[in-house]
């Protein structure tokens, strides 16, 4: 999908409708930006619900007996 947008005088960019719909982005959603060479990677900030259980999904990740910050000092 190719889409073009223009940077406004207020340094704002409108995300084309096709891109918003394909990514299921909604108004008010937060994003973070990662500089990549001459461009920028834009990613939505995940919600807590999206992060829930992420450690359990890693194969071999220990869910018990892990080190805590208390035992590091």
Domain ranges of the chain: 1-60
Question: What's the pLDDT band for 2 if we cut at 50, 70, 90?
Answer: confident
Cβ contact 44:30 at 8 Å: yes
pLDDT for 11 = 95
Residues 6+ apart with CB under 8 A from 16: 3, 4, 5
Cβ atoms of residues 58 and 66 within 8 Å: no
* pLDDT at 10 (0 to 100): 97
**Per-residue pLDDT, 50:** 79
* 20-69 confidence digits (pLDDT tens): 999 999 999 999 999 999 999 999 998 888 787 776 656 666 667 767 76
Q: How many CB atoms lie within 10 A of CB 14?
A: 10
């Amino acid at each position: 999908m190719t889409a073009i947008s223009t940077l406004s005088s207020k340094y704002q960019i409108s995300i084309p409708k096709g891109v918003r719909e394909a990514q299921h982005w909604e108004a008010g959603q937060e994003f973070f930006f990662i500089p990549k060479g001459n461009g920028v990677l834009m990613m939505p900030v995940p919600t807590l619900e999206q992060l829930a259980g992420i450690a359990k999904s890693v194969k071999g990740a220990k869910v018990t007996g892990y080190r805590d910050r208390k035992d590091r000092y």
